[in-house]
């Protein structure tokens, strides 16, 4: 089975959470929208009724949207989750909290609307960013401070959160990052297939279009 | 099996999506936090590591958080979802889009931080509310304009979205509500067990503490 991933080709975004699972498992997949005429192929599977937004995964006849739903379905097939239903539900719970966290990261730079430019909501972004760093970021980091021992796709997603947050909020993360989460990050980065992926051109660099953006004015103030 | 629901006792909130499933199925359940010393019981199952936020469902030894994860696990046991894995994944996809929608409704009145008062983010709320009504609300309504024929827990959640949005944004909803979604709302409201629930004191009225709040300044301007 060759999986087909559909996602915006310019950013890591939500698609990256699925890429990490496919890459870590060494699963055969096509990153369809990064091929020739890829965006046209993305547009074909979207449409107001079929889907709300990418990413999408095609697996045989199944076309599935929503990152946590895709990972929930995919992970047991890749050996990244147990088959037991209660254990899978608990992983889904954690992935949903990561999705909430990611949405809050997005809203630090887009607190008014995702369809408006950052520059047009910069004042509100500064306020939301400050509250995020003061209250929400510590709360999420504390919640995930001691990740479960048994490896699963949730660990890959937590690795990505740490990577992204270090890029977007380097000063706040130096202050707040729990030791357990940093250790998880390093263990995941050292997994051979994942390390090879991260060093490859398949890994899109962080940039100013993605969900994790580095705007110094949204990070902790620089020390004097 | 008597299910135990844990959620803030003063509001419908996210817990209501689970209540609707339990009530429609006629499942035996306790709404734990609405019993004596209920909030103390809620505090006992929370805590920074165990959970991020309610609702929670306890079913035997399983303690599960996150509304879409709870519904995904619960619905086949209540006859509100098929057992087929691909079909369940597609329902989860839809429920996740409803969760995204609900989070955007919440952020119309709390665009800066959920831990600050509405009054302290009212200016930003007016801006976010206007963009929500102009772009996001029509997009979500269009996406769900023709619900699937086969009844599932997703229909109950869509009913709740329509109920809540009519309460919070009555003028915008009169302008935007798709016929297919209004018809779904009426079909769900007429289901005997659900109708009995809605008429009972178990249904908490909408209020100014919940996710759906009626602030006239966030709705369409009144016609002259």
Going B33 to B34 to B40 to B41, the CA torsion angle's sign is: negative
Are B65 and A93 in contact (CB < 8 Å)?
Answer: yes
How far apart are the CA of B48 and the nearest CA of chain A, in angstroms? 5
The answer to whether the CB atoms of A49 and B143 lie below 8 A apart is yes
pLDDT digits over A31-66, tens only?
A: 999 999 888 888 888 865 667 899 999 999 999 999
> How far is it, in rounded angstroms, from Cα A60 to Cα A29?
12
Token pair recorded at residue A112: 């008014």
- Pairing between β-strand A3-6 and β-strand A56-59 as defined by DSSP bridges: antiparallel
Query: Does pLDDT of A131 surpass 80?
Result: yes
**Are the Cβ atoms of B100 and A52 closer than 8 angstroms?**
yes
In which residue ranges of chain B is pLDDT below 70? Answer: 47-50, 224
> Quick one: closest CA in A to B47, which residue?
A143
Pick the range with the lowest mean pLDDT from A88-92, A160-164, A168-172, B219-223.
Answer: B219-223
Q: What is the pLDDT of residue A224?
A: 63
Give pLDDT tens digits for B34-63: 999 888 888 888 865 667 899 999 999 999
Q: Indicate yes or no: CB of A115 within 8 angstroms of CB of B135.
A: yes
Tell me: the pLDDT tens digits for A177-222? 999 999 999 999 999 999 999 999 999 999 999 999 999 999 999 8
Chain A positions in Cβ-Cβ contact with residue B62 (cut-off 8 Å): 86, 89
* C-alpha atoms less than 13 angstroms from C-alpha of B121 in its C-beta half-sphere: 24
Nearest chain B residue to A110 by CA: give it: B111
Which residues does chain B have within 8 Å of residue A113's beta carbon, measured at their own beta carbons? Answer: 128, 131-132, 135-136
ipTM value: 0.97
Instruction: Say what the pTM is.
Output: 0.97
Q: Which residues of B touch A107 (CB under 8 A)?
A: 107
What angle (nearest 5°) sits at the alpha carbon of residue A47, between those of residues B102 and A93? Answer: 35
Beta strand pairing call for A56-59 and A62-65: antiparallel
Please count the other Cβ atoms lying within 10 Å of the Cβ belonging to residue B67. 28
Q: Using the predicted structure, report yes or no on whether residue A74 has a pLDDT greater than 70.
A: yes
**CA angle at A219 for the pair A217 and A222, rounded to the nearest 5°:** 80
Distance CA A60, CA A64 (A): 11
- Contact between chains at A68 and B111 (C-beta distance less than 8 A): no
Q: How far apart are CA A5 and CA A7, in angstroms?
A: 6
């Amino acid at each position: 089975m060759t999986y087909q991933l559909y996602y915006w080709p310019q950013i890591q975004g939500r698609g990256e959470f699925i890429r990490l699972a496919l890459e870590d498992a060494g699963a055969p997949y096509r990153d369809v929208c990064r091929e020739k005429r890829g965006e046209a192929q993305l547009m074909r599977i979207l449409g107001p009724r079929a889907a709300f937004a990418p990413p999408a995964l095609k697996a045989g006849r199944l076309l599935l949207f929503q990152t946590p739903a895709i990972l929930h379905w995919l992970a047991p097939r890749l050996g990244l989750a147990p088959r037991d239903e209660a254990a899978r539900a608990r992983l889904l719970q954690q992935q949903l909290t990561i999705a909430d966290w990611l949405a809050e990261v997005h809203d630090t730079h887009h607190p008014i609307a995702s369809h408006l430019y950052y520059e047009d909501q910069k004042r509100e972004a500064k306020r939301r960013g400050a509250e995020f760093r003061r209250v929400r970021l510590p709360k999420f980091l504390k919640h995930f401070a001691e990740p479960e021992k048994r490896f699963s796709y949730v660990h890959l997603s937590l690795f990505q959160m740490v990577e992204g947050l270090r890029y977007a909020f380097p000063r706040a993360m130096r202050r707040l990052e729990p030791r357990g989460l940093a250790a998880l990050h390093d263990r995941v980065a050292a997994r051979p297939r994942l390390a090879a992926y991260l060093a490859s051109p398949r890994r899109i660099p962080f940039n100013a279009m993605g969900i994790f953006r580095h705007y110094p004015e949204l990070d902790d103030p620089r020390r004097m």
